[in-house]
Amino acid sequence: MTKPILPGEVSAAVVNPAAYGDWDGLHRQLAWARANAPLAVADNPDYDPFWLVTRHADIMAISRDPQRFANGIRPTVLSNRDGEALARAATPNNDGHLIRSLVQMDAPDHMKYRLLTQSWFMPKNLKIVEDRIRALARETVDHMLESGECDFARDVAAHYPLRVIMDILGVPPEDEPRMLMLTQQLFGSTDPELNRNKVEITSAEQAIAMLHYVIADFENYFRELTADRRSNPREDIATVIANAMVGGEQIPDRELAGYYMIIATAGHDTTSASTAGAIMELAKDPALFERFRDADSDKAGLIEEAIRWTTPVQHFMRSAREDAEIGGQTIREGDWLMLNYVSGNRDEGVFGDPFTFDPDREKNQQIAFGFGAHVCLGQHLARMEMRIMMEELLPRLKSLELTGEPARVESVFVGGLKRLPIRFEAA
């Protein structure tokens, strides 16, 4: 059976960081794919061919089947041929994973490592830190309201989730700016405004070298944190990770660094994107803003829709371990697949009027946190952070409006707003 091949413009869009910065143009290409070729191969000159998975149902089917669709065989984030070759040459066993975290693990390692911290992120245990999170949200809002305008994405949304996850992790406040910088450099490596050298990336060698420097900075920092927590344990996640045992032995250095990094980075950049996305839509719609600024309004629908609307983690890659039938297509052993969550969260077959921001969706089946064994460990924390921020911020605003054009991060992997200029009046 011949594999269906996507038109060149669709294939080019889904690998182009600038397309994810444009967003509207990308959505047009993905909508075409869902309607005409929902599971088809993207073939670009610099990339190995991969299946573009655009429909919600197919993304779910692959996500709930980790036995047949693996994380650890090839890069879990899209990489071109040169980048993957360089990464394989630079990693143990030539596995190509510059970072080995929960994201890159398959069974049995994945569950062994996930269980080390999973209980920390369950709703029951998160209630213990709710008061701390609310205090951080209140401080953030107090600072914001000292002025009548700000860049909400840069000045507020980027900092509040960072402070929360660093507090839970055990990183002192004075080191938060360093963590923010490193995270932006890691996830925004393809964006000239955010990457380490503030330049356009033109080669795989350049990209890999830049990532190596960022990862080394993370590793050096967390090496010192580990030594401290082994000598001076505390009630924080850093202590859990530093002293954790897998198979009767302490976690190897590579996996140790990966664990810290996935919590430190995924724990704030994604939540910041969804928070900024919610504020952008409220600033565009005065009636919606008035509704949710009511202190008694239920914010759950607003939060869930903002997560769907922004879809901060835009894709993950999977590799087929064996032949499988998905969405009417035959996936062969060794095939590479892109689970495009941006597309899945706009699937017309699941979401009525998917291009309308609608907090009143009766059943919001958004998949921004993934699904199955690899569903985001911090999803409950993210929702709590967003709820508390909306509860603390919105009742204290009398008005809210945009003062300029929002701008998105140019990144295929983790995206969201990098600029959101707003004007507001305190209530």
pLDDT at 187: 63
Q: Which residues contact 287 (CB under 8 A, 6 or more apart)?
A: none
For tokens 């609307």, name the residue: 309
pLDDT at 193: 59
Task: Establish if 229 belongs to a structural domain.
Answer: yes
Task: Establish if 240 belongs to a structural domain.
Answer: yes
Task: Establish if 416 belongs to a structural domain.
Answer: yes
Per-position pLDDT tens, the chain of length 427? 689 999 999 999 999 999 999 999 999 999 999 999 999 999 999 999 999 999 999 999 999 999 999 999 999 999 999 888 888 887 778 887 888 999 999 999 999 999 999 999 999 989 999 999 999 999 999 999 999 999 999 999 999 998 999 999 999 989 988 888 877 777 655 555 554 556 565 566 776 677 777 888 888 889 999 999 999 999 999 999 999 999 999 999 989 989 988 888 777 778 999 999 999 999 999 999 999 999 899 999 999 999 999 999 999 999 999 999 999 999 999 999 999 999 999 999 999 999 999 999 988 999 999 999 999 999 999 999 999 999 999 999 999 999 999 999 999 999 999 999 999 999 9
Q: Which domain holds residue 122?
A: 8-426
Q: Which two tokens stand for residue 2?
A: 């011949």
CATH number of 262's domain: 1.10.630.10
Task: Establish if 2 belongs to a structural domain.
Answer: no
Task: Establish if 1 belongs to a structural domain.
Answer: no
The Cα–Cα gap between 197 and 199 comes to 5
Q: By CB neighbour count within 10 A (0-12 exposed, 13-18 middle, 19+ buried), where does 45 fall?
A: exposed
Q: Which two tokens stand for residue 317?
A: 């890659």
Task: Establish if 194 belongs to a structural domain.
Answer: yes
For tokens 């993950």, name the residue: 316
The Cα–Cα gap between 175 and 224 comes to 13
pLDDT at 96: 78
Q: Which residues contact 156 (CB under 8 A, 6 or more apart)?
A: 140, 144, 150, 275, 276
The Cα–Cα gap between 182 and 194 comes to 10
* Tally of domains within the chain: 1
**What single-letter amino acid sits at 365?**
Q
**C-beta of residue 420 within 8 angstroms of C-beta of residue 157:** yes
pLDDT at 202: 58
Strand partners, 145: none
Output the pTM of the full model: 0.93
Q: Which two tokens stand for residue 20?
A: 């994810």
Q: Which two tokens stand for residue 282?
A: 């409220």
**C-beta of residue 320 within 8 angstroms of C-beta of residue 68:** yes
Task: Establish if 3 belongs to a structural domain.
Answer: no
pLDDT at 133: 96
pLDDT at 386: 97
Q: Count the Cβ atoms, other than its own, within 10 Å of residue 287.
A: 8
pLDDT at 188: 58
